[in-house]
Amino acid sequence: MASLQNSYNHAEYSKCKDISTFAAIFAFKCKCGKTLGRNKIFEVFRHLDIVSDRNNHKNVPTSKYINCFLSLDKTYADGRTKTFIFVKPDSMEYLSKKITEYLENNCVHKSKTKTSSMSVDLSPIMAIQEDKKETGSPLDFDRKQALEYLSNLPKFLENSYFAVELRKKWGID
């Protein structure tokens, strides 16, 4: 990217940083501890409405933040045009604060684990387990905890392994 800046040799671009360099300078870290690169920075910018996708162009600065960036259009021999976005030096601190504030409460790295679309309220079960943190499994519950656990169990889990075993262990029908 730096070679692109040099090849156009515009004085106004000399102190600007492309998004990859901007990300590397500030080494932004997500809530999960991972460092953000160019694509994740653009994702945060989109969440904050700093850039948006318009007219088949990705990551176009919104009107409110247009003065924070310089853009450079490069036209290739085959007619394709690509727009490169640079952060202006006087906007780097301001944008880094916006990103840092956003990252304090959000994680942009999605879990790779597949989740079920079924929604079940397990808060009663979780509350019971919170009361007895040293318990490793429902099979470690005393009779009172087992009764409470079974009475708050969602209907589709009534014949689960733990439910059946707890009933056997404590002679509960």
Which pairing describes strands 81-87 and 51-54: parallel, antiparallel, or unpaired?
A: unpaired
The pLDDT value recorded for residue 38 is 92
* 20 and 50 housed in the same domain: yes
- Helices 38-47 and 92-105 pack at an angle, to 10 degrees, of 80
Domain of 58, in residue numbers: 2-105
Distances from the Cα of 111 to the Cα of 32, 101, 107, 115, 152, angstroms: 10, 21, 10, 9, 29
Cβ atoms of 168 and 159 closer than 8 Å: no
Q: What integer pLDDT is reported at residue 45 of this predicted model?
A: 93
Residues 67 and 135 occupy one common structural domain? no
* Count of domains for the chain: 2
User: ∠ CA 6-9-10 to the nearest 5 degrees?
Assistant: 130
Given a cut of 70, the residues of the chain with pLDDT beneath it are 1-11, 55-56, 110-136
User: Which residues are CB-neighbours of 28 under 8 A, at least 6 positions away?
Assistant: 35, 36, 40, 41, 44, 96, 99, 100, 103
**DSSP single-letter state for residue 150:** H
DSSP SS3 for 32: coil
The pLDDT score that the predictor gives to residue 113 is 43
Query: Are residue 12 and residue 76 in the same domain, yes or no?
Result: yes
Whether 149 and 73 map to the same domain: the answer is no
Same-domain pairing of 18 and 100: yes
In a domain, 113, yes or no: no
Q: Do 85 and 139 share a domain, yes or no?
A: no
pLDDT score recorded for residue 134: 54
Same domain (yes/no): 97, 147: no
Q: Which amino acid appears at position 171 of this protein? A: G
Q: What's the token pair of residue 124?
A: 């009663």
Residues 70 and 11 in one domain: yes
pLDDT at residue 161, as a whole number: 84
| Contact partners, residue 127, CB within 8 Å, separation at least 6 | none
Q: Are residues 53 and 87 in the same domain?
A: yes
Residues 34 and 109 sit within 8 Å (Cβ to Cβ): yes
